[in-house]
Amino acid sequence: MTHPARRRRPALSALAPARAPAPGRAAQPRRPARPRLSSRAARLCAAAALAALAGGCAQSLADRYAALERAHVRQGLLRLDRDPADAPFDAEDLARDFERIAFHKEFADGPGLIAAPTPTQLIKWDGEVTWTLTGDGVREDDRRAFRALTARLSALTGLRFSERPAPDTPAPDTPAPDTPAPDTPAPGASSPDQPPARGGRAPDEDAQDEGARVMILIAGPELRRAAGILAAGMPGNMDAIAAWARDDSYPCVGQVGWRGEGPGRDQRAIVAIKAETAGRLRLSCIHEELTQILGLVNDDPEARPSIFNDDQEFAALTRHDELLLRILYDPRLRHGMTAEEGMPIVRRIIAELAAAGEVAPARHSASRDRAAPRPGAGPRVRA
């Protein structure tokens, strides 16, 4: 089974189909919405980004991505603040965001990529998460960024991340040490001694066991043409990787998959980033794609402050996103759970976080203040 992660797609949100409400939500009273762009502002942003990305045929792809990034930053997007004062959230927000992001996927089942929020079972990893960084577009600062992020993810989830040399390349002179899980897991994180969650073991173990479980590919044009071959060892179809390879409007993509059912499943993932990305756009690809393959596989327009949102407001993990990860890797939640099984547990975990002062208690007033309107949201660079 595979799950395409959300593809970062600049400039096309104006053309995207309308997002359906999450299942089971239609009959519920609608709470005051978080601040959002006016439709006119959204159209203006969409037009500007379309011009930046698609208007200059004579420009290189790197120039077009750089222009798009500059436009977003000027609009106050691709922010780097972890816990912004202008984007408060409470326990009720966190529960809703978790359900929509972890228990739904963006694409419907079947061939091709049909955008339609679809209920899905919980995705979690267990055991050591080995990763390798490869491709003709890798820079040394990419390696530093992934090492820093995996250390942060380890502290949040209790997972053990370790780097492996790229295929067919010698080991670096000073290889990065394995990132151990913390001696004391973060509150809500799973223990390194947690028994394997439900799942299955992939076939072709002799071929699979030699490589890293997560391949991170940063590729230029020539290497992208071979993306289908590079993805051939992944379980299931790889439509998201194919779309990324052929379409310049997708700077990056992530896809996670596994085979079989039962304890000891072998989980694999690919993160693919175009070499022409740079700056905050590249950083946002690194943060969102690697985090997403861990199990936060959807986005939601009301999730804020979050990278799991179509508005491009944040480029890096926020405190809100860290809490989502900690909830996901609480040992009380298991791989394969449905929302009906998992959400009562999620609400108990969030109540514990609220009691500890880590998230504000739910506010039930119909006039809840969602703070100042957010800056002009650009078309989503979707992942």
CA distance 254 to 310: 16
pLDDT digits (tens, 9 = 90+) for 132-183: 999 999 999 999 999 999 999 999 999 999 999 987 644 444 344 444 333 3
pLDDT digits (tens, 9 = 90+) for 327-364: 999 999 999 999 999 999 999 999 999 999 999 999 85
Q: Which of 10-19, 84-93, 179-188, 365-374 has the lowest mean pLDDT?
A: 10-19
371 within a domain of the structure (yes/no): no
364 within a domain of the structure (yes/no): no
240 within a domain of the structure (yes/no): yes
CA distance 184 to 17: 44
Q: Per-residue pLDDT averaged across 91-102, rounded?
A: 98
The residues pairing with 129 across neighbouring beta strands, listed in sequence order, are 161
Domain CATH number, residue 299: 3.40.390.10
Whether a cis peptide bond, with omega within 30° of 0, leads into 305 is yes
CB atoms within 10 A of CB 248: 16
DSSP for 126-190 reads -SEEEEEEESTT--HHHHHHHHHHHHHHHHHH--EEEE-PPTTSPPPSSPPPPBPPPSSPPTTPP
At residue 307, the 3 state secondary structure works out as coil
367 within a domain of the structure (yes/no): no
Is 4:252 a contact under the CB 8 Å cutoff? no
* pTM assigned to the model: 0.75
136 within a domain of the structure (yes/no): yes
CA distance 8 to 330: 28
Percent of the chain with pLDDT over 90: 52
Burial of 146 (0-12, 13-18, 19+ CB in 10 A): buried
Question: Residue ranges of the alpha helices (H) in the chain?
Answer: 39-54, 61-74, 91-102, 140-157, 205-208, 221-224, 227-230, 239-246, 279-292, 319-328, 339-355
Expressed as residue numbers, the domain containing 336 is 2-16+37-355
pLDDT at res. 367: 36
pLDDT at res. 304: 97
pLDDT digits (tens, 9 = 90+) for 226-267: 876 665 555 556 778 888 988 898 999 998 888 766 556 788
pLDDT digits (tens, 9 = 90+) for 19-63: 333 333 333 333 333 444 333 344 444 444 544 555 545 689 999
194 within a domain of the structure (yes/no): yes
Average pLDDT, the chain: 76
Domain count, the chain: 1
244 vs 114, which has greater pLDDT?
244
**Residue type, position 228, single letter:** G
Q: Which two tokens stand for residue 321?
A: 């996103």
249 within a domain of the structure (yes/no): yes
At residue 74, the 3 state secondary structure works out as helix
pLDDT at res. 24: 37
Q: Which two tokens stand for residue 129?
A: 């998460």
174 within a domain of the structure (yes/no): yes
CA distance 342 to 102: 10
At residue 280, the 3 state secondary structure works out as helix
